[in-house]
Amino acid sequence: MASNKTRVIARMDRVVNDFVARCRYFREPMTRGRAKMFVMQHRLNTRQRNSVLKLKVATNCTDWDTRIRIIQACSEEVIADHEHGGGRPHWQILEDLGVRIGLDRAAIRRARPLPSTRLCWAAWEGLMANRHWLEGIVANTCAERANIPGYGKGRIRKAGWFGLERHRWGRLFKLSDDELEFFELHEAADIAHSNQGWRAVERFAKQYHMEDAVVAACEQNLNVWEHYLDGIAAAGDQLR
Ligand SMILES: [Fe+2]
């Protein structure tokens, strides 16, 4: 990470670093049950976030270019990603991965959000729909930020969150990098998506006197992400 970054960016990076370092989901071993639950919940979560929550942030955004980029990123997630995903939406690529690890496609589609997932959606609604768009864009991008190498320790620091997942899912299920494309494509897509958020903070936080607010938004949103992942782990541990 560049050493000439502004103070507010350095503070946000510290918050992401703390999240990556403490989150049990990253530190505890991946299991078949957790991986299966991740597919079922994250397919729903990515649809909810990108067709509902992030669009509320776009609606509130007063900077035209930023607003269009948010909509563009959402469209890659839920409609078609021509840049990284061969024209498929990300939730569908995740569905294909679910089939490869032994889930039945109909069962993936039947899955309902866990109570913990629903609680997170309600929390994010509060942190995204009715806030200043600059806090909203931090909410949109702070978890994707963890996919960028440089946060936490060990493999996640070297490869980012989804680089870590690609490694451990590959070992657990004997899948090739091609078969783990969901994680691989995010390593590129998320650098682009999360850079939008960090760049907007760099451009606007000082001007809007919102440096403390964006750092607080980053903390609160990542606390919700931690709850979401803990919920997946707990429910995944009940699966066979
Ligand atoms: Fe995605």
**Of residues 240 and 186, more confidently modeled:** 186
- Residue 107 pLDDT > 90: yes
pLDDT of 16 over the 50 cut: yes
**Is residue 150 classed as helix, strand or coil in its secondary structure?**
coil
Provide the token pair at 47: 């649809």
Residue 114 has pLDDT above 90, yes or no: yes
The tokens describing 147, both together, are 């996919």
CA of 234 to the centre of ligand 1 (A): 23
How many angstroms does the Cα of residue 5 sit away from the middle of ligand 1? Answer: 26
Question: What confidence tens digit (pLDDT) does each residue in 24-83 have?
Answer: 999 999 999 999 999 999 999 999 999 999 999 999 999 999 999 999 999 999 999 998
Q: How many residues does the chain have?
A: 240
Residues 128-156: what's their mean pLDDT?
A: 95
Q: Residue 43 C-alpha to ligand 1 middle, in angstroms? A: 9
Interatomic CA distance for residues 201 and 216, integer angstroms: 13
SS3 content of the chain, % helix, strand, coil (to 5): 75, 0, 25
209 C-alpha vs ligand 1 centroid, how far in Å? 31
Instruction: Judge whether residue 102 has pLDDT over 70.
Output: yes
CA 207 to centroid of ligand 1, rounded, Å: 31
Residue 69 Cα to ligand 1 midpoint, Å, equals 15
231 CA to middle of ligand 1, Å? Answer: 20
Question: Rounded CA gap, 80 and 122, in Å?
Answer: 26
pLDDT-derived band at 2 (thresholds 50, 70, 90) equals very low
Please give the distance, rounded to the nearest whole angstrom, from the Cα atom of residue 2 to the centre of ligand 1: 25
Ligand 1 geometric centre to CA of 163 (Å): 14
Distance 90 CA to ligand 1 centre (A): 5
Give this prediction's pTM. Answer: 0.95
Q: Does residue 132 carry a pLDDT above 90?
A: yes
CA of 50 to the centre of ligand 1 (A): 9
Mean pLDDT throughout 140-152?
94
Query: How far is 33 from 240, CA to CA, in rounded Å?
Result: 6
